[in-house]
Amino acid sequence: MGEETERKEETEMKIAAYTYRDFDEARYFQEFGKAYGVEILPVREDPTPENAALAAGCEGVSVLTTDISAEIIRKWSEAGVRHISTRTIGYDHIDLEAAKSCGMAVSNVTYSTGSVADYTVMMILMALRRVKSILKRAEGMDYSLKGNIGRQIGGLTVGVVGTGRIGTHVMRNLSGFGCEMLCYDPMPNPEAQSLGTYVPLEELFARSDVITFHTPATRSSFHMVNAQTLQTMKDGVILVNTARGSIIDTPAFLDALETGKVGAAALDVIENEIGIYYGDYKYQNIGHRELSILKDLPNVLIMPHMAFYTENAVSDMVEHSIQHILNHDGNVLPEHG
């Protein structure tokens, strides 16, 4: 019996979990590591070429949205790692070509769609009701009404760009508000079709009072919102982005905010956020001029990429990352959030 136990321990799969967070992820890594018979090696730092060797002897590595460069991947490959699993839906932070050249599998995860979908509706309502301005005034004991009149979502037209699992959940949430819903996706979803009307992207931009984005970071979605497309939108349009920062051309977006073309915005993601979000920079220069401008605008609500952040979602992220490495799924899962 003792020999069998020893042999089992010797063959137990090992996974190195980088950017391991003790305050929320640890309990799930411990729970699911035990449930799946996997040994979890916690690495609390982000992956770097210098700490890549810590994954030696591990079948796979579990990562978050930090830069996974070709050099890191090469060092992991040399250490015997065969699988990179990101505990996120997006995987644009991973050098996929480098992983392919090293013969390493890459996978992403899915998680409870209600986390982002519910947050999106909250952000839409906060933008429509000028909540940022109301709260900032209230902090200074200013309880006046002037300038803070809001709009009701009922009767407005909401455009949903991307009708995968999250986008469709958003439409489901919005269906009780009495708003008209337009949607766009290269791959129509039957449920979304029952909730709204599919139209070309150009028409959605032109007709929507509020536009919310739920599309992955791809070549076709890169700077989907730019100087030209912004001009086709309604004056005073409200933009909500809980998807990917690269969807919006930030300098053009700032110009549209300054002219009033964009009336308000609620952003959970921005361009070039890697290395900034999830850190504490209150006594430092963050080195991101556009973020500094955006966060000071009274009609722009900035959230630090937290739409996903619920207990349900974190549990899903950890479990699914372990599952993918354990099953050695050799392909990037299609991201259609």
Task: Give the distance between the most distant pair of CA atoms in the chain.
Answer: 77
CB distance 301 to 266 below 8 Å: yes
What is the C-alpha to C-alpha distance for residues 43 and 41, in angstroms, rounded to an integer? 6
Catalytic residue among 25, 59, 271, 273: 273
HSE (CB half, 13 Å, CA atoms) of 245? Answer: 20
Both tokens assigned to 82: 């065969």
- Contact between 76 and 84 under an 8 Å Cβ cutoff? The reply is yes
191-195, long-range: CB < 8 A, 24+ apart: 192/160, 192/163, 192/167, 192/168, 195/168, 195/171
Among this protein's residues, is 258 annotated catalytic?
no
Tell me the CB-side half-sphere exposure of residue 169, using CA atoms within 13 A: 17
Among residues 244, 288, 320, 336, the one annotated as catalytic is 244
Distance CA 177, CA 151 (A): 13
Q: Return the DSSP state at 290.
A: H
Residue 273: active-site member: yes
- Contact indicator for 46, 19 with CB cutoff of 8 Å: yes
CA dihedral of 137, 139, 142, 143, whole degrees rounded to 10: 90
Catalytic site residue from 151, 305, 320, 336: 305
For residue 3, indicate whether it is catalytic: no
**Residue ranges with strand state E in 234-277:** 237-241, 262-267
Question: Which residues carry out catalysis?
Answer: 244, 273, 305
